[in-house]
A and B are shown apart, each in its own frame.
Chain A
Amino acid sequence: MTADRKVSVTVNGVKYEASAEPRTTLVDFLRVELGLTGTHVGCEHGVCGACTILMDGKSVRSCIMLAVQADGAELTTVEGLSVDGALHPIQQAFRDTHGLQCGFCTPGFLMTIYELLEENPNPNDDEIKDALGGNLCRCTGYQSIVEAVHKAAARSAS
């Protein structure tokens, strides 16, 4: 029914329950209903990758998912990366290598890289570029982002 549905999700370890119209996209649910505005909305048709989050550990585009499809899922957003105010190693590497400028695309990049390094702790350039192919950045240029991934990988290994 078009009637609102209850959606229960765990985001960054915190349980939330809120109601949503079935047509509400997951990114709007996170931003508007839950107030978690770290995840950005870009193209709204699955091209730019700005809205990338983790759902049950896997990177997904939250603008081309409905909130109702995530009912019962564990989500991780950019707000879940830093612990006690200390930047996550991936965030620190972005800062160190100038991996961001305006920062709009950054949350999506960070979450995509988080998944990549979970699965492949020491990726080579080709693997990094393959993983990042679905994230667009319009100001930094990608070289410093690739460099950030190497740096984050090295730092996590040490």
Chain B
Amino acid sequence: MKPAPFDYHDPATLDEAVSLLGELDDDVKILAGGQSLIPLLNMRLARPAALIDLRKITELDYIREDNGAIAIGALTTQRSVERSQLVKDRLPVLHEATRLIAHPQIRNRGTVGGSLAHADPAAEYPAVALLLDAEFKIRSASGERTVSASDFFITYLTTSLGSADILAEIRFPTLPEGTGWSFIEMTRRHGDFALAGAGVTIADSGGQCSAARIVLFGVDATPVRASGAEQALVGQELSVELIERAAQTARDEVGEPLSDNHASSEFRRHLAGVMTERALTEAAGRAGWAGS
């Protein structure tokens, strides 16, 4: 199908964009790379009265290291992140998560901010943002505010961005030296949305797990932390049995995943356990655990 008609605006600066957004009424969509929004327009699942296209706002296209974080402008393409040597060196988990997003043609257009603002619960960026406790810098006509990843994602395709807000920058904290990480997912076909996936960071101190963070995606209305499984790990000596137990806990604490024609709820729950176990094993190995 073809999109329904809309008014089109392409402001040249972020200041212009936020003031325009403040002036227009609520039925406005922000267009970044369009890799989620334009399919929705084509299928007429979205019929906004107006679009504000951010394509001219090149000031929001950057990747830089800043005070313990990798700061990424919201309009940076996923391809730029995938290819960034800085990201490969300083935050390889973000590189790995980016590689799993759809296909090269999508990553060439899709942006970091667009994916996060769209907030598909099976998408990679919301999950890696929660895993790393990323901060979201949000602009509106009335100023700037910062929201943490745990407060940003509300439910399916819904974030704390208000109708006057534009996401400007995302700050992904780098990991302490020696932290192990993993980011994996299960898809039916290469490049599809994940049926379920897991992101893990883990610290091993002399054979003991001193910190662990587990995020599951594709299994709930937003990416979720497996807090019970995290608690089961911290302070314990890492072993195959401990990892299996933590994965079982993660599987049990998943709520009621969606059933659709790609996977049943029960299969997604099962995958949550499998993904957790594999991710923990890989991350523990990267943290120096010799048992994997």
Contact = CB atoms under 8 A, between A and B. Distances in A.
Interface of A: 1-2, 5, 21-23, 25, 28, 44-46, 49, 52, 55, 58-61, 63-66, 68-69, 112, 115, 129-131, 133-134
A68 B106 contact: no
Interface residues of B, number: 31
Nearest to A63: B42
23 contacts: A2-B6, A22-B8, A22-B51, A23-B2, A23-B3, A23-B5, A23-B41, A25-B42, A28-B2, A44-B1, A44-B2, A44-B42, A46-B38, A46-B39, A59-B104, A59-B105, A60-B109, A64-B39, A65-B38, A65-B109, A66-B34, A131-B104, A134-B103
Given A64-B42, A65-B34, 4 more contacts: A25-B42, A45-B39, A64-B109, A134-B103
Contact of A2 (B8, B103, B105, B191): B8
A5 B191 CA distance: 34
A55 B55 CA distance: 14
B105 A52 contact: yes
Interface of B: 1-8, 10, 31, 34-35, 38-39, 41-43, 51, 53, 55, 79, 102-106, 108-109, 189-191
Contacts of A65: 34, 38, 109
Contacts of B189: 133
A46 B106 contact: yes
Nearest to A56: B108
A130 B3 CA distance: 31
A134 B43 contact: no
B105 A61 contact: yes
A6 B108 CA distance: 24
A49 B34 contact: no
A1 B106 contact: no
Contact of B5 (A21, A25, A60, A61): A21
